[in-house]
Amino acid sequence: MLRVMVIGAAGKMGREVCRAVLGQEDMSLVGAVDRKDAGQDLGAVLGTEALGLAIVTDLEEELHRAAPDVAIDFTTIQAARKNIPVLISNGVRPVVGTTGFTPDELAKIAAECDRTGRGAVIIPNFSLGAMLLARFARETIRHFPACEVVELHHQQKRDAPSGTALRLVESLSGGSHEIPIHSVRLPGLVAHHEVLFGGSGELLTIRHDSMSRESFIPGILLAVRRAPSLRHLVTSMEALLEIEQ
């Protein structure tokens, strides 16, 4: 049985992730950390029956009490920056969905994983469809080099451009040319990415829509199952799927 903790458990993604973990036969939800709703039973926050698991604020204390194998982080970049070293130094595998890490920060975390021989997962978009969008776009740019990216999200999303859009242009440009990103923040949106390719007298648009947060759950659960055996940092769904079990 995999022992799983959720950090940011009272947030939009955190609540969805808690529900998903509770529904897995091979996982046990052993800890819930958040600065919001602290002291409340997690069940009350999820709208289920009481679970006998209180939301707490102190990560390190909760790690010692709950002894998780894996900790899933959906918080803010400021919180996740602090949480990851604490998890790694306590031998807990981080599965991080929080966005906003710079390439430099990722390189430092990767070096720490290599040094300790204990892996981690930091993936800005856990959906399978978003991974395929990136794959199709890489194929298309060989024929249509002029392109721009539009990312559209709910208005509470704090970072702009989205982590997914940044990763997308990085993989499309190979660091060689600038691809503009346009960010839209509006109520009614969830998470949407499109790449527009302009050609002579034609336009090709590749678009992915996350209609609900459920779209991220299969990728997150896969990462949780793979995390204990990882020895290095994994930063994309493509890389995660390629890892042999």
Q: How far is the CB of 198 from ligand NAD (least distance, A)?
A: 29
Helix, coil or strand: residue 136:
helix
Contact flag: residue 235 with ligand NAD (CB under 6 A): no
Neighbours of 144 (CB within 10 A): 17
| Alpha-carbon distance values, 225 to 33, 118, 228 (Å) | 20, 14, 7
Nearer to ligand NAD, 79 or 227 (CB): 79
Contact flag: residue 97 with ligand NAD (CB under 6 A): yes
C-alpha–C-alpha distance, residues 131 and 20, integer Å: 21
Nearer to ligand NAD, 8 or 94 (CB): 8
Residue of 36, 64, 82, 153 marked active site: 153
Closest C-alpha to 134, from 74, 83, 85, 194: 194
Residue of 108, 154, 157, 182 marked active site: 157
C-alpha–C-alpha distance, residues 167 and 16, integer Å: 24
Number of shown-chain residues binding ligand NAD (CB under 6 A):
23
DSSP 92: P
Q: How far is the CB of 14 from ligand NAD (least distance, A)?
A: 6
Closest C-alpha to 159, from 235, 97, 66: 97
Nearer to ligand NAD, 9 or 179 (CB): 9
Contact flag: residue 216 with ligand NAD (CB under 6 A): yes
Contact flag: residue 227 with ligand NAD (CB under 6 A): no
Q: How far is the CB of 235 from ligand NAD (least distance, A)?
A: 11
Q: How far is the CB of 140 from ligand NAD (least distance, A)?
A: 23
157 is annotated as an active-site residue: yes
Contact flag: residue 75 with ligand NAD (CB under 6 A): yes
C-alpha–C-alpha distance, residues 204 and 101, integer Å: 30
C-alpha–C-alpha distance, residues 5 and 36, integer Å: 16
Contact flag: residue 234 with ligand NAD (CB under 6 A): no
Q: Per residue in 146-156, is it b (16+ CB within 10 Å) or e — as a string?
A: ebebbbbbeee
Q: How far is the CB of 190 from ligand NAD (least distance, A)?
A: 9
The number of CA neighbours under 13 Å toward the Cβ of 90 is: 21
Q: State which of positions 3-42 bind ligand NAD (CB under 6 A).
A: 8, 10-14, 33-36
Contacting ligand NAD (CB under 6 A), which of 123, 152, 169, 206?
123
Neighbours of 64 (CB within 10 A): 10
108 is annotated as an active-site residue: no
Contact flag: residue 135 with ligand NAD (CB under 6 A): no
Q: Which residues contact ligand NAD by CB under 6 A? A: 8, 10-14, 33-36, 74-76, 79, 97-99, 123-126, 157, 216
- Give catalytic residues, as residue numbers: 153, 157
